[in-house]
Amino acid sequence: MKKIYILCATLLGLGIDATAQNIAPIDTTLNRTVVVEKEYNPIIQGASKVNVLPQVEDPTISQKEVEYALGSVSAKAVPVALIKPFVAKEYEGKTLPGYLRLGYGNYGNLDARAHYTFSITPKDQLSFDITSYGMNGKLKSPFEGEPKWKARYYKTVGGIDYKHQFDLVDLNVFGGMGVHNFNFMDQSTPLDGAFGDELFENFNAPKQRFSMGNFGVGAKSTDEFARILYDVTAQFMFYSRQNDIVDNQELKESLVKTDAKFWTVLDEENKLGLDLDMYNRIVNSDSIKNSTTLDLNPYYALDLDSWKIRLGAHLDLGFGFGESFLVSPDVQVQYIFSDSYVLYANAKGGRINTTFRRYETLSPYTFILKKNRDTYEQLNASLGFKASPIPGLWINIYGGFQKLKDDLYQNVVVPTNTLTYFANEDTKNFYGGATIQYDYKNIVQLNLAASGYKWKTDGYNNNALLFKPKMDVEAGILVKPIKPLQIGLNYKLVTREQPELWTNYFEVENISNLSANMRYTVLKQLSVYATVDNILNKKFQYYYGYPIEGINFMAGLSFQF
């Protein structure tokens, strides 16, 4: 799978897990497990993320030696229309500090990365990271009669991250920048008279450039005897979009984002906490109001041998635009029996801030027509059962209901034209599914995940459902027949909702993607890798009207030092 990623360059997420958990000793070393995510930003493993789709907690797997995976990104990832960066997992303290990778393939596919971590002293660590990926090739248009599109897409991000460990506090200073250049599809289909709005009739943008960056500082208390513990990160983030419908000018967004977590451990079983998330947003447009949001999450956590309970609420305030006060639950209950079986029930919610970074994640080819509201998850209630009946086997079965206020989606102007703009609509869905993973002695790894959704919206034409999944299935196998060789095969199937209004004009094809990958360690620190994607040569879209590559491959080298 392929994905557009938000730049948060090498930001270390200093947050602790929000769920009730066993009370562990305070971390006193810098050799913590770090995961280099799909966007190649190191974050503490387990840091929470918010996704519009219902989230399902995966089983926790014991840490292994460093592996640079060459398979598709996870089933929950939002894909990129054209190219696919690789996934790399790094475990500091168990591998060498430097890493280089360079790959190239047909359609001009490029994948490059350089990373180095300096352990200056036992208490000081400095990391540098730069990644570049993209493509340049001709793709067949999904619209009849249209010529091939000469697509170009490149993204480069880089960052620096410094950590220092004081006696009672961990300090983190970070920063990064990125640029994203690509072009739009040429269209012969006219927009004259679309909605009778000259905004669409006169708008023309052959290419796009996103520029982004951030810098910030974080502090986390490590005094296990302190009454109040904290984990605070503040950062300034900027982002510009070269072309947009709003004001027909370059739009610039400035954000001051503050994340703070405070908690106190009452005893071995009880904990009280308060999480705070604040956004201050300024945009250089008279059409988009500046705004501030303050989201508070007080909670109580109980951790017993068989029961883990978290009772909390999201109290979310908005100033300048949108709802002024919103409330949603934060309740989690787990019952553990026979050591490896868990029954759980969750009722969650909260704000999903609509920023320029979120726009890019949803669709880089879609334009801003007006100020869009933040999406608010009013309720995400689920029941589930997790089990590990035998070593190496994990099972998770779940079902639930989700209600979203002002769900963000890409709205279509004319069914036979690629021009889309962001819009909001209330949506709701029932969902259910299962995940099965099996690891046989680290020689064969099997995984199967399937989920189904039943969506509904009050919108008059159901445009918000156009790209919603009805069924999402992913199956994969990873085989290590000999120690230096790794071979993987992955298949992804996503069936889509088909709103009646659009199927009469243009049917959005289901995702059907078979991919394979291989890695061979030539020397101890030098590996060769190869990937093949869209083996079945299917024609589908991740974004409205924009085609994907046919059968495509990439080969390259990676080196640790």
Q: Domain residue spans in the chain?
A: 34-560
When pLDDT is cut at 50, 70 and 90, the band that residue 203 belongs to is low
pLDDT grade, residue 450 (50/70/90)? very high
Higher pLDDT: 416 or 209? It is: 209
Structure tokens, 52:
């519009």
Contact residues for 229 (Cβ-Cβ < 8 A; gap 6+) = 221, 223, 262, 263, 264, 265
Confidence of residue 413 (pLDDT cuts 50, 70, 90): confident
With a cut of 90, say whether residue 190 has pLDDT above it: no
537: alpha, beta or left? (left if phi > 0; alpha if psi -120 to 50): left
Q: CA–CA separation, 54 vs 348, rounded Å?
A: 10
In terms of phi and psi (left: phi > 0; alpha: psi -120 to 50; beta: otherwise), the region of 442 is: left
Tokens encoding 262: 């405070």
The phi-psi region of residue 10 (left if phi > 0; otherwise alpha if psi is between -120 and 50; otherwise beta) is left
Give per-residue pLDDT as tens, 301-351.
Answer: 999 999 999 999 999 999 887 668 999 999 999 999 988 999 999 999 999
Alpha helical stretches, state H, 91-196: none
At 118-159, the pLDDT tens digits run 999 999 999 999 999 999 999 988 887 778 899 999 999 999
**Residue among 24, 22, 46, 20 nearest 33 (CA):** 46
What's the alpha-carbon Rg for the chain, to the nearest Å? 23
Q: Which of 225, 120, 119, 216 is nearest to 168 (CA)?
A: 225
pTM (predicted TM-score): 0.82
Measure CA of the first residue to CA of the last residue in the chain; give whole Å.
29
b or e along 90-104 (b: 16 or more beta carbons within 10 Å of the residue's beta carbon)? bbbeebeeebebebe
Average pLDDT over residues 232-241: 97
Residue 361, pLDDT score: 92
Per-residue pLDDT tens for 5-30? Answer: 333 333 323 332 333 333 333 333 34
Separation of alpha carbons 60 and 166, rounded Å: 30
What one-character DSSP code corresponds to residue 502? H
Nearest to 560 by CA among 520, 527, 518, 528: 527
Tell me the mean pLDDT in the region 70-83: 32
User: Looking at residues 189-197, what average pLDDT do you find?
Assistant: 49
3-state secondary structure of 359: helix
Find out whether 467 and 496 touch, Cβ atoms under 8 Å: yes
Side chain identity, residue 219: A
Q: How much of the chain, in percent, has pLDDT values that exceed 90?
A: 62
Residues in the chain: 561
More confident residue, 270 or 52: 270
Domain 34-560: which topology? Maltoporin; Chain A (2.40.170)
What average pLDDT is seen over the chain? 81
Q: Look at residue 254 and tell me whether its pLDDT is greater than 70.
A: yes
- Burial (CB < 10 A; 0-12, 13-18, 19+), residue 173, is middle
- Identify which of 558, 534, 485 has the alpha carbon closest to the alpha carbon of residue 139: 534
Using alpha carbons only, give the angle 464, 314, 465 rounded to the nearest 5 degrees.
10
Whether 548 and 151 have beta carbons less than 8 Å apart is answered as no
The DSSP secondary-structure symbol of 198 reads H
Per-residue model confidence (pLDDT) at position 462: 75
How much is the pLDDT for 460? 64
Answer for the pair 298, 310: CB distance below 8 angstroms, yes or no. Answer: no
Segment 512-532 shows an average pLDDT of 95
User: What distance in Å separates the CA atoms of residue 553 and residue 555, rounded to the nearest whole number?
Assistant: 7
Q: Tell me what pLDDT residue 469 has.
A: 93
Q: Kindly report the CA angle at 512 between 510 and 514, in degrees rounded to 5?
A: 170
Which secondary structure element, helix H or strand E, spans residue 423, and what is its range? strand 420-440
452-469 pLDDT, tens per residue? 999 998 766 678 888 899
More confident residue, 458 or 176: 176
Confidence of residue 551 (pLDDT cuts 50, 70, 90): very high
**Cβ count within 10 A of residue 256:** 15
Work out the burial of residue 537: count CB atoms within 10 Å of its CB; fewer than 13 is exposed, 13-18 middle, 19 or more buried. exposed
Residue 82 has pLDDT above 90, yes or no: no
